[in-house]
Structure 1
Amino acid sequence: MIHFVGAGPGAEDLITVRGRRRIREADVIIYAGSLVNPALLKEAKKDCRIYNSATMTLEEVLGVMKAAEAEGKTTVRLHTGDPSLYGAVREQMDILDEEGIAYDSCPGVSSFCGAAAALNLEYTLPQVSQSVIITRTEGRTAVPEKENIREFAAHQATMVLFLSTGLLEKLTRELIDGGYAPKTPAAIVYKATWPEEKKILCTIDTLEEMAQAHGITKTALIIVGEVLAPGYYEKSRLYDATFTTEYRKGKTHET
């Protein structure tokens, strides 16, 4: 059995209870060494075989999985954050399907949640932004044309950008060309939830300057949108005393 496990955003206590149990039970662990906190590997059994996929190809990763399966071993494929976001898991699962090897997924806390926690941020504020766009800037790997940054920027929604810290000049240009005002609030969150976490508030037109000033070139999320510095926003109707819900009858204000 192969278990795809989300390791969380970085802090070793932000893995799920299920994820930690999977690690403890594993005979083989293949972990994304460039991003997963190695402290999590302390939970592994003494005789667990551990592989760092940062130095491996897809074929090598699958080779370890197939060999472990042939031996009747349990394998944990440990991905950073939540495997469903930029985890390159589908290509692994498709091959496992072809081989008739069973697998499942254990979700994890994504770094975009860790970044919000670092900033004490609510991504969705009534009358400011009710949508979150999670995407990345096109680099060596293309993105579909209909999903380019300029197209998304036209919505003026909250945007969280992965894998874009090394492309900030291009990102800034595309955000502004797409419709964001240059002074739209922005943030850079470096290694959210790790001990070395950095959080920098700025504006879209100062993203590149602030990243350079703090020596940040990778392993950071970029957040843009008015939720970072809201003026007026409406309070939630859910807790409004005059609002009737399934569980509470609204009260009429006395004059």
Structure 2
Amino acid sequence: MTDPNPNEGGGAETGSDPQAAIDARGERRREALDDRITELSAGDEQEGIPFVGAGPGDPGLLTVTGRRLLEGADLVVHAGSLVNSEVLDAYCADADLVNSIGKDLEELVPLMCDAYEGGEAVVRLHSGDPAVYGAALEQMDALEHEGVPAYFVPGVTSAFAASATLRTQLTLNEVANHVAFTRPRGKTLSEEADHVSDFVGMGDVTTCIYLGTHAVRETMERLLEDGHDPEIPVAVVYHASWPDEDVLVGTIGTIADRVEEAGYRASALVIVGEAVTGAGYERSYLYGDWANRGSDADGRAGSD
């Protein structure tokens, strides 16, 4: 099934209340797919307001499409200090800049709607990738409920920049077969919904903890209370790819002290698991003998 009119506002029923818009869009998703899902892909040029991932920090890690959209923007609504100012300086020189920090949906949605409907090129700029803890969909739903289309432009999330800095992979054969993106319990995550310990307990999972710098000690203490090996490697990468990037490497038993000594309370990505060191992995099958089956000694494909 497809949604016959994904941009139909329905404002007469719910007005401009963002929560009502979110609820209405959610109901429409349950009933039918949006036509654009089958008509457009992530790399296509689209109508509407793009929600662009700014990447982890370094301006060079912004996507080509993201750069093009920023350079052509009249208005850029950005995520404040979560976006490296160098990105704004490099690509947004001709745009009006609005910091979204401290503004709620009731302020942001009309701001973007008015600019777009007034003929301006509007870009909503999120840190990292807006699909990972970006709170982007609620803004997009509220915009589309008002008749303004919106779409995602992917970015490089901080876990990928952190693994590049650590010169390792998040997945390694026989060491880390899975990756979990998660966050610790807090105001927006209940104790029952906190699965950090579950992921670590699986043994072959690289656990990437977002939005948890302030809770490193509490998280590590819970892991120890749950019986996890205190020697499991942990890395904390502060401001991955920014000029002031810092890397702290330790274990479940030691990393909290190092983070507190450094004074970090935010803006760091925590990685737990053997992939942190890149030690102990097995050679993959990709470049083994099995990949050459069916070929002769000279590397040419063999005949039947």
Q: What is the TM-score when the length of structure 1 is the normalising length?
A: 0.91
Tell me which amino acid in the other structure corresponds to 1:49. Answer: D
1:31 match: 78
The correspondence of residues 133-152 of structure 1 with structure 2, limited to 5 A, is 133-143=180-190, 145-152=192-199
Aligned residues: 248
2:201 match: 154
Distance apart, 1:230 and its partner CA: 4.7
2:213 match: 165
Aligned partner of residue 222 in structure 1, secondary structure:
strand
Contact persistence 1:185–1:202 (CA under 8 A): yes
Contact persistence 1:149–1:174 (CA under 8 A): no
Runs of 4+ in 1 over 3 A off after TM superposition: 248-252
Aligned pair partner of 2:62 in 9, 15, 25? 15
Tell me which amino acid in the other structure corresponds to 1:225. Answer: G
1:64 match: 111
1:196 match: 244
Equivalent pairs: percent with the same residue? Answer: 38
Distance apart, 1:178 and its partner CA: 4.1
CA distance in 1, matches of 2:253, 2:210: 18
1:183 match: 231
Aligned partner of residue 188 in structure 2, secondary structure:
coil
CA distance in 2, matches of 1:9, 1:57: 24
The correspondence of residues 126-137 of structure 1 with structure 2, limited to 5 A, is 126-137=173-184
Contact persistence 2:57–2:87 (CA under 8 A): no
Tell me which amino acid in the other structure corresponds to 1:249. Answer: G
CA distance in 2, matches of 1:232, 1:93: 44
Q: Pick the structure with greater CA Rg.
A: 2
2:287 match: 239
| Higher deviation after alignment, 12-21 or 140-149 | 140-149
Distance apart, 1:233 and its partner CA: 1.9
Contact persistence 1:244–1:250 (CA under 8 A): no
Change (3 A) 1:251 1:141: farther
1:249 match: 294
Tell me which amino acid in the other structure corresponds to 2:236. Answer: I
Change (3 A) 1:198 1:250: farther
Gaps of 5+ in 1: none
Task: State the superposition RMSD in angstroms.
Answer: 1.8
CA distance in 2, matches of 1:214, 1:147: 26
Aligned partner of residue 243 in structure 1, secondary structure:
helix
CA distance in 1, matches of 2:51, 2:227: 39
Distance apart, 1:161 and its partner CA: 0.4
Deviations 1:107-128 (A, max 9, x none): 1111111100111011111111
Distance apart, 1:250 and its partner CA: 5.8
2:261 match: 213
2:12 match: none
Aligned partner of residue 117 in structure 1, secondary structure:
helix
CA distance in 2, matches of 1:122, 1:175: 23
Change (3 A) 1:71 1:214: same
Aligned partner of residue 124 in structure 2, secondary structure:
strand
Aligned pair partner of 1:92 in 134, 139, 142? 139
Aligned pair partner of 1:110 in 141, 154, 157? 157
Q: What is the TM-score when the length of structure 2 is the normalising length?
A: 0.77
Aligned pair partner of 1:52 in 89, 94, 99? 99
Aligned partner of residue 209 in structure 1, secondary structure:
helix
CA distance in 2, matches of 1:120, 1:83: 25
CA distance in 2, matches of 1:146, 1:152: 12
Distance apart, 1:143 and its partner CA: 4.5
Change (3 A) 1:205 1:244: same
